[in-house]
Chain A
C-alpha cells in the first residue's frame, strides 16, 4: 500500500471516529433529540452541497466547511420555494433533499474534470 493510500484510509477512519464521537456526545447530552439533529444536519446541511462541490478542484476541508455555510443559506431557500408548490414543510424538506442529492450527483457526473468558466 502506498503512502498516499495509507493517508486516504486514515482520513476515512478519522471521519468515522468523529461521527461516532459526535453521536455519542449528542446522545449523552441531548438524548435522541441530539442524535436525530446530528444525523439530520449531516444529511441535509453537509452531504448535498459536499457532493456538488466535489465537482470542483477543492480540498476536502474546503468542501466540508463550504457545504455547511452554503447550506444554511440555501437549504431553507429551496425548502421555501418547494413549499410554495407542496405546502407541507415536512414534505418540502424531503423533496428538497432528494432534488439536491440527485441534482448534485448528476452535476458531478457531467461536470467533473471539465474545463470551463468555473475551473
Chain B
C-alpha cells in the first residue's frame, strides 16, 4: 500500500517519472543508462545555473552599477563604515573605537548608551569579509557592494544545490528563479539587513547535510562527515546573524521528531552529534559571548515589545496581527505583493503532494514549513515581539518557492498521457510558468533594484567629495554639524565616508552630551550643504540658509568651498 502510494507520486521528483541519478561518491550527476546524453544535459544544467547566478549578481548589483556612490538604509552605513575603516586603517581594532562609530553605536544601543564597550557586540566576520573584498577589488565602494550582491545572492547556489539533490533539476531551477526575484529578499537587501540574508543562505546546506547524514545513518552506513560539515555551516550562520539558528534548530528538531515517528528509531548517533557540537563551539571560540549579548538584546526588546498578536485567531493566519504593528511596509506581509497570487495554488498543491508522499525529503521540507509557521507565531506562543520574529520572514521564500516548484511538478505528474506527449506538455507548462514569473515577479523585482536609491535618496557627488576631503583634512574626533543636508541616510553616509561624527538629528548633540558628560562634546565644524536643496529646487530654504550662513560666519572663511558645499572650522570662534 505504502509502496503503491509512493510509486503513484514518483512523478513529483525532478524530471517526471525519471529517477534522479547521480554518483554519490565521485563527481557530478552521472546517469547509469544514458551517459552520453547526460553529459550534454549536465553541460546545459551547469551553464544555465551559471547564467542564472551571474544574472542574479547583475540584477542585485544594479544599485551600485547604476551609480558608483554608496547607498543603503538603516544599518547599511554602519556596516559600510566598519568594513571601510578596517580597509583604510589596514588593521582590525576595536570596531567602535573610532568616534564616528562609537557615538553612533552609543546613541542607538539599547544596552545602555554611554556605557558601552568599544568592542562590537557582533562577531567580526561579515565586516572582515567585506574588508577583504575592498582590498581584493581595489575599490572602496564598488568592491564592497559587488561582494555584497554576491553574498546576498549566494542563497541561489545553496538552494539550487539542496533542491537539485533532493527533488531534481526542474524544481531546482523553478524555485531558484523565484528566489532570485524574491521581493522579500530584495526589500531586505535595500533596507540594509544584509547579514540576515547571508545567514539564511546557509540553511539549505545545513538541511542537506543533516538529511545526508540521517540517510546514511538509517542505512547503517553512517557518514558523520556531513554532520561535521554542518557544524561549520551553523558557525557561518551564527557569525553572520544568530537569528537564523532559531529557524535551523526548530526545523531540525521537527524533522528529527518526524523521523523518530516514521522510522521508529533515533536517527543519529549521540557520539557524532557531540563531536559536531564540539566543532561548532570550538569554531565560535571567543565570539560565543557576542551573540549571547545580541540574544539578550533581542529578548529584551522582544519581551518589552507590544507588537504581539491580539488573540489566538492569529493561529489561522500566516502572519499574526502583531506584524501589523511593526514599522515596516505592510506589503511585505501580503502574499500577492511578495510572491504573486499565481504561485499560491502551486504552493498548496506542493504541500499536499508532500503530505501524501511523506518520503524523508518530503518530511524535511514539511518540517521546514512547520518550523517557520511556529516561529512566526512565537508572539502568540511565547510573547516575543513580532519586530524580532520579523527576521524569520526572510526564510519564507526559501521554503515557499521550492514547494511551489514541487506543486508544479505535481500538476505535471497528475497528467496521465503518453511519455512523448507529456514531454511537450511539460515544455508548455514550463513556458507558462516562465511567462507568469517574468510578468508578475521578475519585472517588478528588476525595477525595484534598478530604481533603488536614486538621488536624492543617496549621498550625491558633491557630498561624497566633501566627505572625502574631510577624511583627509579634519581630525577624526571632530564633531560636524550639517546645515542644509535634509536626508538622514545621506548624513549617515557623509559620516562613514569621512570617518567623522556627523550629527544626524537636531537633538543629537544634547543626546551625546548626556550620554558622555565626561567628554566635553562640542561642535567643531559646520557642513553647509546647498546641494540637496538645489536638487529639490527649494529656493526659499536656500535663501534662508544663505542668510543663516551670512549671520553666523560673517568673519570666518570656509576651509572647504566646492560644489555648493562649504565647511567652516568653528573651534576658535
Cα distance A29–B150 in the bound complex, in angstroms: 14
Quick check: B90 and A119 within 8 Å, CB to CB?
no
> Cβ of B481 < 8 Å from any Cβ of A?
no
Q: CB within 8 Å of A: which of B205-242?
A: 205, 223-225, 228-229, 232-233, 235-237, 239-240
Is A98 on the interface with B (CB-CB < 8 A)? no
Listed A/B pairs (9) with beta-carbon separation below 8 Å: A17-B47, A37-B143, A57-B25, A59-B24, A60-B26, A70-B236, A77-B128, A83-B92, A118-B228
Interface residues of B (CB under 8 A from A): 22-28, 30, 35, 39, 42-43, 46-47, 50, 54, 58, 61, 65, 86-87, 90-92, 124-129, 131-133, 135-139, 142-143, 146-147, 150-151, 154, 157-158, 161, 198, 201-202, 205, 223-225, 228-229, 232-233, 235-237, 239-240, 275, 283, 285
Cα(A41)–Cα(B133), bound, Å: 8
A59 touches B35 (CB 8 A): no
Closest to B46 in A: A14
Contacts of A99 in B (CB 8 A): none
- By secondary structure, the B interface counts as helix
Instruction: Check A79 against B137 for contact (C-beta < 8 Å).
Output: no
Q: Which 7 A-B pairs have the closest CB atoms?
A: A73-B236, A40-B136, A76-B128, A76-B125, A37-B137, A70-B232, A33-B137
B347 to chain A, nearest CB (A): 26
The complex places the Cα of A3 from the Cα of B26 at a distance, in Å, of 15
B91 touches A87 (CB 8 A): yes
Q: Is the CB of A74 within 8 A of B28?
A: no
Contact of B50 among A21, A60, A66, A89 (CB under 8 A): A21
Size of the chain A interface, CB-CB below 8 angstroms: 51
Residues of A within 8 A of B58 (CB): 25, 29
Q: In the complex, A72 Cα to B136 Cα: how many Å?
A: 15
Given known A22-B50, A22-B54, A68-B154, contact A59–B26 (CB-CB < 8 A):
yes
Q: Nearest chain-A residue to B50 (Cβ)?
A: A18
Using Cβ atoms and an 8 Å threshold, which residues of chain A touch B275?
A: 117
Distance (whole angstroms) from the CB of A7 to the closest CB of chain B: 6
Q: Does A34 contact B (CB under 8 A)?
A: yes
Known: A33-B146, A59-B25, A89-B135. A117 touches B233 (CB 8 A): no
Question: Residue A69 contacts which of B23, B138, B202 (CB distance < 8 angstroms)?
Answer: B202
Asked if B151 and A83 make an inter-chain contact with CB atoms under 8 angstroms apart, the answer reads no
> Hey, which chain B residues are within 8 Å of A11, CB to CB?
27-28
- Nearest CB in chain B to that of A28: its residue: B58
Q: Are B225 and A118 in contact, CB atoms less than 8 angstroms apart?
A: yes
A-B contacts besides A7-B27, A65-B157, 17 pairs, CB < 8 Å: A6-B39, A37-B147, A41-B150, A56-B225, A59-B25, A69-B232, A72-B151, A73-B239, A74-B236, A76-B239, A80-B124, A87-B91, A89-B86, A89-B131, A89-B132, A90-B135, A119-B223
- In the docked arrangement, what's the CA distance between A69 and B358, Å? 29
Q: How far, in Å, is B258 (CB) from chain A's closest CB?
A: 24
Q: Check A72/B129 contact, CB under 8 A, given A21-B54, A56-B225, A118-B225.
A: yes
A89 contacts B27, CB within 8 Å? no
Would you call A1 an interface residue if the criterion is a C-beta within 8 Å of the partner chain's C-beta atoms?
Answer: no
CB distance from A60 to the nearest CB of B (A): 5
Complex Cα gap A30–B224 (Å): 42
Query: Is B137 within 8 A of A90, CB to CB?
Result: no
Among A41-99, those with CB < 8 Å from B are: 41, 44, 53, 56-61, 65-66, 68-70, 72-77, 79-80, 83, 87-90, 93
Check if B158 sits within 8 Å of A65, measured CB to CB.
yes
A36 nearest CB across to chain B (Å)? 5
Q: How far is the CB of A80 from chain B (nearest CB, A)?
A: 5
